[in-house]
Amino acid sequence: ALPIYAPRAHERGQDLGLVAPDTPVTVAGQDTMIGLALRNLVDNALGHTPAGTHVEVRVVPEADGGVRLWVLDDGAAPDTDAAGTSPDDAGRAAAGGLGIGLTLVERIADWHGATLERENPDPAFTTAFGLHWPAQRKEAHPAPRDA
């Protein structure tokens, strides 16, 4: 999913990076839907931060067998309410988005036994959204197969 965003990041003067272990990390789920969730997170990070921003995707396997997939950026931190909702969500529609990206990501995460999290695990970044698959995850709903 990241190679399709490299030209966009370059055009906008942004840096896009990936930090992942050398060995593959797998999670149970439907790859197209998980890819859609990742694309939404990366698209939000690139689309809602200024030139000069560093956007980083991190794949973090946990010692207990869980997995975290983070999308972080060092752009300006948005104002949010206690639920983590930005007051400018409606303004995103005017900027070319529908303002439903995080809702879609959250539903995909739920469907796959993961959770959507917003926190900042690294002081070098201002915004971080992640998908977390716990080691003892709830049963994922069967997703439709790709045709």
| Sequential DSSP letters for 10-22 | HHTT-EEEEE--S
The residue among 47, 34, 35, 58 whose CA lies nearest residue 8 is: 47
Please give the full DSSP string across 83-106, using - where no structure is assigned: TS--TTHHHHHHTT--S-HHHHHH
Mean pLDDT lowest among 14-23, 71-80, 94-103, 131-140: 94-103
pTM of the shown model: 0.77
Q: What is the pLDDT of residues 73-126, one digit of tens each?
A: 998 765 544 334 444 443 343 344 445 789 999 999 999 999 999 987 788 999
User: Are the C-beta atoms of 56 and 66 separated by less than 8 Å?
Assistant: no
Q: What residue spans of the chain are helical by DSSP H?
A: 6-11, 31-47, 89-94, 101-111
Q: What is the pLDDT of residue 91?
A: 38
